[in-house]
Amino acid sequence: MSEGNVVRFDIEDGVGVITIDNPPVNALGPGVREGIIEFVEKGNADPNVNAMVLIGAGRSFIAGADIRQFGKPRPQPPRRSTDVLEDSAKPVVAAIHGYALGGGLEHALSCNYRVAVRSAKVGLPEVLIGVLPGGGGTQRLPRLIGPKAAMEMIVSGRHVPAEEAKKLGIIDEIVDEKDLRGAAIRFAKSVASKRPLPRVREKTDRLAEAKSDPGMFDAMKKSIARKARNQKAPYHCIACVEAAVTQPFEEGLQTERRLFAELENSDEAKALRYAFFAEREVAKIPGAPKDLKPPRVKTAAVIGAGTMGGGIAMCFADFGIPVKVLEVSRDALEKGMQRVRENYAVSVKRGSITQTQMDERLPRIRPVERYEDIADCDAVIEAVFERIDVKKDVFAKLDAVMKPGALLLTNSSAIDTDIMAGVTRRPQDVGGAHFFAPANVMKLLEVVRGTNTSIETIAATMQIGRDIGKIGAVAGTCDGFAANRSRAPLVTEAMLMLEEGALPEQIDKVMVDFGYPMGPFAVSDLSGLDVSYDTRKRRAAADPNFRKLHVPDRLVEMGRKGQKTGAGWYRYEKGDRTPHPDEVVKSVIAEVGRELGIPQRTFTDEEILRRLLLASVNEACKILEEGKAYRASDLDVMWLHGFGFPRYRGGLMFWADTVGSKEILRQVEEWHARYGDRWRPAKLLREIAASGGSFREAKSAGTTG
Ligand code: T1G
């Protein structure tokens, strides 16, 4: 009997059914491969068995190898379960529902036939966790569907819906959603006497297509060059598919195994595995009752049809949730709706959605002009100007009209949500739903917990995030919450290094080389220098100690607001978004340095990277100390999905562990001595350095598990 009964066997109508039962997703954990081997051999030896079916219990077929086992010694069974399946004397049919991913699809490819329900998805997503299909997938899939289609699936790691998989030739038959087992048994009986048995490893006809297009491998390398910068896994995937074309099957398997071993414990793979589990952990709300099932939001409303308001409305419409958009003036409403129409039209033009999808989604967004019109909505998200008086006025009105139990949420990116809750009689229903620009693109949703926000409101807002395709991460209310607050010191250091003579293009290059799609100055030109200028003005008015940022202020006062004015940190040619370093900026930097009496100097790339990221690591420690985030890994999820932090580096706190807490404390103390209070080491930083602990495992006090 297989270890821990994760695999079982029964016979129905002359068909041996091998069922994988290893919740939650039937990963190939301990005992699963052994169980498959045991029961395939049992079926072959049993005269009452004419054919077999491999099926998953619960919600999925097999979602791949057990990722938690990676990097650990894994006792391998004497024979590969994939070979045992493929060498079976009696036909084996893979019956797929939910997901057949990674090692799961590799086992299905080792069966003689594959049937699936329409809602199933198949794929080889190993590249997304920094490895490659190491169970024969890179050798069998090209033989079944051709090297080009196989390479596209393996290098993208995408999940392919069953219908498309059938068209590609992976799935032999789409079967009844409600009776997969029955349909698979019937299919198995229909092929029980067919010989010879089809074995993917023996197929070579599709490999010939590479002869007519020998350049396909180089073409793929070129097409991924920008996105796969600094990464190894995507290129190893291509090399394996090429081996499938140029080497006999067993040799190709050797190549696959060798390249897999190179990747398994690479920094890239460790970081991507960390990110995978961090994205699952972030959904867990400490202290929430296990059976807490928040009500799903079926109708929503957005206050404000500006850029963010329109983008938020599109999120709901994109996922089938009707949403009302409220604006004070008909003119503003019309402008807002026009922007939404244009955004959809651009997406259709780009091919990211179809015209049909646009026509389905637009009508779900209903413009309204009266608060009464939204009173029956399950949730409302306020997205008006970042001014306290305006927001207080909106929340007072919402409190007056919204039905009991409605979620009253603000999209503020920095203003304390307690201020809005304070003008209502239901602070428990008030919280933050902070979207990142562009709202209908960025995956992060920062769910802000106010002092009186109930855990039900937090859970319901996290559920909204899941329902509109976002990754929700909880932050405690404070200035800038967790995401922006942890990133703000990076921006400040970038600006202050200019006063010492650094140049925007050097700092941006350091961040792009590190793996960011763009540097902070190019991003600032995109979003507009005036946006942060106004924020700084407000802060300076409220806080006399607020540190003025002379260089950006001067550029804005010179009318350089970024791409929209043709010049900001860089200058831009008409109709072209390519940033060109500008002597004007260089002279402003020198001028400010002279006026402030700051000696100008050069910077190494490493110093720049550390000034930027360590400032945020230190702030992240303060955020955890104050309980404004549950886990360091939550902050990493925020940086990955809110700020474009390079995923193969895991996240800010995961990266900090590659530098080491003692070295980081030494560096921060050095800059504290040189630059003063803004570099005061956080208490948690000292504790982690003293205990030799890790940043990525840090949690806020009181957060267990
Ligand atoms: N290993 C271990 N745990 C896994 C797992 C896996 N492969 N997949 C999911 N889980 C856990 C997950 O951590 C969570 O746990 C729970 O299951 C539900 O997952 C030899 C080398 C299948 C699409 O990369 O993409 O095969 O938080 O919240 O949103 O070639 O999970 O509840 O404790 O994500 O419905 C290749 C990874 C492995 C697929 C379901 N396979 N999984 O999504 O649920 S490498 C993958 C997913 C490999 C071979 C190689 C998704 C999902 P907890 P969930 P979901």
DSSP output for 180-208: HHHHHHHHHHHHTT-SSPP-GGG--GGGG
Q: Which atom of ligand 1 approaches the CA of 281 most closely?
A: 27
Q: What is the pLDDT of residues 192-250, one digit of tens each?
A: 999 999 999 999 999 999 888 999 999 999 999 999 999 999 999 999 999 999 999 99
Dist. CA 27 → ligand 1 center (Å) = 7
User: What is the rounded distance in angstroms from the CA atom of residue 458 to the CA atom of residue 362?
Assistant: 29
**Are the C-beta atoms of 651 and 636 separated by less than 8 Å?**
yes
Q: What is the pLDDT of residues 261-272, one digit of tens each?
A: 999 999 999 999
Examine the residue annotation and report whether 106 is marked as an active-site residue of this protein: yes
Average pLDDT of the segment spanning 552-576: 94
Gyration radius (Cα) of the chain, Å: 28
User: Which residue's CA is minimally distant from atom 42 of ligand 1?
Assistant: 63
Q: Where does the pLDDT of residue 571 fall: very low under 50, low under 70, confident under 90, or very high at 90 and above?
A: very high
Question: 137 in ligand 1 pocket by Cβ < 6 Å?
Answer: yes
> Strand 15-20 to strand 471-476: parallel, antiparallel, or no bridges (unpaired)?
unpaired
Q: How many other C-beta atoms lie within 10 A of the C-beta of residue 211?
A: 8
User: What is the rounded distance in angstroms from the CA atom of residue 263 to the CA atom of residue 234?
Assistant: 11
Question: 64 in ligand 1 pocket by Cβ < 6 Å?
Answer: yes
Q: What is the pLDDT of residues 272-306, one digit of tens each?
A: 999 999 999 999 999 999 899 988 999 999 999 99
pLDDT at 532: 87
Structure-block tokens of residue 45: 């030896």
**Are the C-beta atoms of 6 and 32 separated by less than 8 Å?**
yes
Question: 129 in ligand 1 pocket by Cβ < 6 Å?
Answer: yes
Q: Which atom of ligand 1 approaches the CA of 284 most closely?
A: 27
> What percent of the chain lies above the pLDDT cut of 90?
91
User: Which residue's CA is minimally distant from atom 18 of ligand 1?
Assistant: 24
The rounded mean pLDDT for the chain is 95
User: What is the rounded distance in angstroms from the CA atom of residue 498 to the CA atom of residue 652?
Assistant: 23
pLDDT at 430: 98
> Strand 379-382 to strand 365-368: parallel, antiparallel, or no bridges (unpaired)?
unpaired
**Are the C-beta atoms of 526 and 655 separated by less than 8 Å?**
no
Q: Taking the chain, what is the end-to-end CA distance rounded to the nearest angstrom?
A: 33
Question: 688 in ligand 1 pocket by Cβ < 6 Å?
Answer: no
pLDDT at 3: 55
The residue written with tokens 């603000």 in the block is 410
Phi, psi of 26, deg, nearest 5: 50, 45
Q: What is the pLDDT of residues 43-94, one digit of tens each?
A: 999 999 999 999 999 999 999 999 999 988 887 778 999 999 999 999 999 9
* Claim: this prediction has a pTM higher than 0.75: yes
- Testing ligand 1's pocket by substitution, the residue of 69, 128, 280, 470 carrying the most ligand atoms inside 8 A of its CB is 280
Which position among 34, 126, 152, 268 bears the catalytic label? 126
Amino acid at 126: E
Structure-block tokens of residue 34: 């052994």
Dist. CA 276 → ligand 1 center (Å) = 8
Q: What is the pLDDT of residues 153-166, one digit of tens each?
A: 999 999 999 999 99
Higher local confidence (pLDDT), 704 or 15: 15
**Are the C-beta atoms of 493 and 611 separated by less than 8 Å?**
yes
Q: What is the pLDDT of residues 530-560, one digit of tens each?
A: 988 888 887 788 887 788 889 999 999 999 9
Structure-block tokens of residue 277: 């589990």
pLDDT at 75: 77
Structure-block tokens of residue 519: 């540097």
Q: Which atom of ligand 1 approaches the CA of 125 most closely?
A: 24
pLDDT at 705: 45
pLDDT at 1: 45
- Checking if the pLDDT of 37 tops 60, the result is yes
Amino acid at 251: E
Q: Where are the beta strands (DSSP E) in 327-378?
A: 365-368
pLDDT at 8: 98
CA 696 centroid distance within chain: 17
Examine the residue annotation and report whether 126 is marked as an active-site residue of this protein: yes
Amino acid at 61: F
Q: Where does the pLDDT of residue 500 fall: very low under 50, low under 70, confident under 90, or very high at 90 and above?
A: very high
Question: 681 in ligand 1 pocket by Cβ < 6 Å?
Answer: no
Q: Which atom of ligand 1 approaches the CA of 64 most closely?
A: 26
The DSSP symbol for 196 reads S
User: Which residue's CA is minimally distant from atom 53 of ligand 1?
Assistant: 280
| Overall residue count recorded for the chain in this entry | 705
Q: Collapsing DSSP states into helix, strand and coil, what is residue 666?
A: helix
Q: Which atom of ligand 1 approaches the CA of 102 most closely?
A: 26
C-alpha distances out from residue 547 to 202, 491, 495, 550, Å: 70, 13, 11, 9
Structure-block tokens of residue 590: 């020198």
Question: 100 in ligand 1 pocket by Cβ < 6 Å?
Answer: no
Does an H or E element contain 175, and which? strand 173-175
Q: What is the pLDDT of residues 407-437, one digit of tens each?
A: 999 999 989 999 999 999 999 999 999 999 8
Positive or negative CA dihedral for 107, 108, 109, 112?
Answer: positive
Question: 67 in ligand 1 pocket by Cβ < 6 Å?
Answer: yes
Q: How many other C-beta atoms lie within 10 A of the C-beta of residue 90?
A: 20
Phi, psi of 424, deg, nearest 5: -115, 165
Q: Collapsing DSSP states into helix, strand and coil, what is residue 488?
A: helix
Q: What is the pLDDT of residues 346-377, one digit of tens each?
A: 999 999 999 999 999 999 999 999 999 999 99
Dist. CA 53 → ligand 1 center (Å) = 23
Nearest to 628 by CA among 517, 528, 479, 523: 479
User: Which residue's CA is minimally distant from atom 1 of ligand 1?
Assistant: 66
Which position among 38, 86, 106, 152 bears the catalytic label? 106
pLDDT at 536: 85
- Testing ligand 1's pocket by substitution, the residue of 67, 99, 241, 260 carrying the most ligand atoms inside 8 A of its CB is 67
Structure-block tokens of residue 675: 């630059």
Question: 444 in ligand 1 pocket by Cβ < 6 Å?
Answer: no
- Checking if the pLDDT of 704 tops 70, the result is no
116, β-bridge pairs: 96, 174
Dist. CA 63 → ligand 1 center (Å) = 6
User: Which residue's CA is minimally distant from atom 34 of ligand 1?
Assistant: 280
180-202 CB burial, b ≥16 within 10 A, e <16: bbebbbbbbbebbeeeebebbbe
User: What is the rounded distance in angstroms from the CA atom of residue 175 to the CA atom of residue 101?
Assistant: 19
